[in-house]
Amino acid sequence: MHFALTEEEELIRESARKLATERLAPLAERLDRGEGRPEFLANLKLLAENGFMALNIQAGFGGTEAGTVAFALALEELAAACASTAVTTSVTNMVGEVIQAVGTSRQQADHLPKLADGRYPAGAFCLTEAGAGSDPAGMKLRARRDGDAYVLDGEKIFITSGEYAGLFVVWGLTNPDVPKGKGISVFLVPADTPGVSVGKAEKKMGQTGSATNTIHFDGARVPAANLMGKENDGFRVAVGELAGGRIGVAAVSLGIARAAMDAAKSYARERKQFGQALTEFQGLQWLIADREVDLHASRLLILDAAAKKDRGEPFSREASMAKLFASEAAHRCTDAAIQIHGGAGYCRDFPVERYARDARITRIYEGTSEIQRLIIARETLRQLG
């Protein structure tokens, strides 16, 4: 098997690492304290200008056309510096990909360049509702046809980038009289659409630099031309795009885990107990060894799923495997990093406690670990015929 990266993929990874080190890492601690939003938005614009907001979008729309492997490599580097910036980048790429996949040529031309060059600071993926998280087919937001428009009423919760996104991709119920999941459609909704309002930012445990909001739709009138794909076919679109999004979450998880272990290894080399460095103790060596296996296995699972997607092969099972393993590994790695730091790791003087908080959500968003196991089992058993 050929595991080598292409020259372009290597260049994108190095470019992401440079931007992450120079611009994202110095801001991460302030973002975690609720400060530095203007600099955060400036970094999003810089990432767009360097091609990171449209990594898998065609060049004709301003995209990089680098592919999913490059996307995963870049997100790992960004997340190692700032998980909040990385998840915003991941979701914006996800929004661009769904427009490219099912949008009309007019929709693509109108919106993809604005995502690619940063005119939209970010894109937002509006799927989750209070009663439709792990079960998105149970959504209640109503999208009622009215002449040459659809009128949207309802709300979406836990929306990444809600307060500064320029464009929402919104799923709504267009036919409530058919079986669950069959009457859902998807729409492009610019953030300045009358009737659309953004609720307060959630007070989160981690990834606090990334805004997470409730989005309200109160009689929001959307032109019928903003329907993406066929009416009542939106749930299928959501399922397909979530699979790609899971590669992004897996890569973010890996970046956080890698940063935590890098910090832990550096600390262990310097910290002395009983007259010797912590790295001289076999128990700690074994702890590091197990976590290095986690990091390496996560990366291989992620790249396998990404490569399958790039080749146009089925990748849903592999994406769920990568997301499940990498997010669970991030928990193990950040926990180990705190343990290696001892009491110091529990204090905000060291970044490992932030890494642990940032990692926790990766086992929840884009489908919980339990949902990933259901998908993996279903796809595996389906292959048996």
Q: What is the DSSP letter of 61?
A: G
Contact yes or no for 77/24 (Cβ under 8 A): no
Neighbours of 142 (CB within 10 A): 15
Give the rounded distance of the alpha carbon of 195 from its chain centre.
27
**CA of 176: how far to CAs of 129, 137, 183, 219, 268, in Å?**
16, 11, 6, 18, 58
CB neighbours of residue 381 within 10 Å? 9
Give the pair of three-digit tokens for residue 122. 């970010």
Contact 263, 337 (CB under 8 A): yes
Q: Residue 51: what are its φ and ψ, rounded to 5°?
A: 90, 5
- Is 366 a residue of the active site? yes
Q: Which of 77, 318, 328, 366 is catalytic?
A: 366
Give the three-class secondary structure for 104: coil
Question: What span, in angstroms and rounded, lies between the C-alpha atoms of 368 and 226?
Answer: 30
Which helix (H) or strand (E) is 268 found in, with range? helix 234-270
- Please, which residues have CB within 8 angstroms of residue 129's CB and are 6 or more apart in sequence? 136, 138, 139, 140, 141, 154, 155, 156, 157
Catalytic residue list = 366
